Structure 1
Amino acid sequence: MSLVNKIKLLCDEKKVTFAEVERSVGISNGQIRRWDNSSPKIENVKKVADYFDVSVDYLLGRTEKKRYYDLTEKDEQSIQKELERMINNMDNESGFAAFDGSTIDELDEEDREMLIASLETSLRIAKRIAKKKFTPYKYRD
């Protein structure tokens, strides 16, 4: 898929036009469409990538991963391992109490599942934030 087609898909997802993107990032009107026939300046490609919060490599078709901080299979395994550890600790520790003062053993199945889902979501968010914050610049694009 060409650079222009990738940008078109991103525009469709965000419900914006090429003209709106060009105005927002400060490039001349009609510039993106001309990238089918001429090579763009890397600075302009970076601006567009930043606008859509995707990597330059994604725009150029070098990877299918939109963001450098997207979770990998290894990250997912790490999250599941940590979640399992947390659940085991809650089951084994008598010190855990929910907001209403009940212990993990006293929660009904639905509440327990919601607690686990919340913990898993929190772990995913924390992992993405950490990747975004601590990934060295040389690995970002």
Structure 2
Amino acid sequence: METVFDRIKNLADSRGKSIVDVEADLGLSKNYLYKWKKSAPNSTKLIEVADYFNVSTDYLLGRKKTKDSSEEQETKDLKKFLEDNLDNGMTFGDGKVTQEDREKLEIALTQIFYRYHDEFKKRKNEKGEFKF
């Protein structure tokens, strides 16, 4: 079974870094991460390591197979939502939307996205896309 340490080692290797480099970058003492081979990590330090590699703590703990953090996935989902609903055919009157109006529309759509995020997520999982 792959341990938290194994996942961190794989992430470090993929960036061309050693465990010693990661420990130094995070201000951890020498061999701090090696201790995670056999013992449970401190939750605060686990979060720091996850943030360092831009992965979720669930990924480091082996609870998720993908490296994407939920925040990163939300950002991707929001981008797709905005592309689908703002960039693809949203026009008014003469078909021209000013930059100022576009920025306001983006703010409004972002607010709508986060207000209904769970519902959008459910629809995406069911149909593979966001639709009103």
Aligned residue for 2:22?
21
| TM-score, normalised with respect to structure 1 | 0.53
Q: Which has the higher contact order (CA 8 A, sep 6+)?
A: 1
Please give the secondary structure, in 2, of the residue aligned with 1:70.
helix
Which position in structure 2 is the counterpart of 1:82? Answer: 85
Question: What SS class does the counterpart of residue 17 from structure 2 fall into?
Answer: coil
Find the residue that maps to 1:95 and give its secondary structure. Answer: coil
Amino acid of the structure 2 residue aligned with 1:68: S
Q: Please identify the structure whose Cα radius of gyration is greater.
A: 1
Instruction: Quote the Cα distance in structure 1 between the aligned partners of 2:16 and 2:93.
Output: 49
Deviation at 1:65, TM superposition (A): 4.4
Q: CA–CA distance in 2 between the matches of 1:6 and 1:40?
A: 13
| Amino acid aligned to 1:67 | S
> Aligned partners of 1:96 and 1:43: how far apart in 2?
46
Q: Distance in 1 between matches of 2:42 and 2:17?
A: 22
TM-fit CA distance, 1:21: 0.8
> Is the 1:2–1:61 contact (alpha carbons within 8 Å) kept by the matching residues of 2?
yes
Amino acid at match of 1:16: K
- Is the Cα contact below 8 Å between 1:55 and 1:66 reproduced in 2? yes
Deviation of the 1:6 alpha carbon: 0.9
Partner of 1:36: 37
Between 16-25 and 29-38, the greater mean CA deviation after superposition: 29-38
Unaligned runs of 5+ in 2: 99-105, 115-132
Question: What amino acid sits opposite 1:56 in the alignment?
Answer: T
User: How large is the Cα RMSD of the aligned pairs?
Assistant: 3.2
What percent identity do the matched residue pairs reach?
29
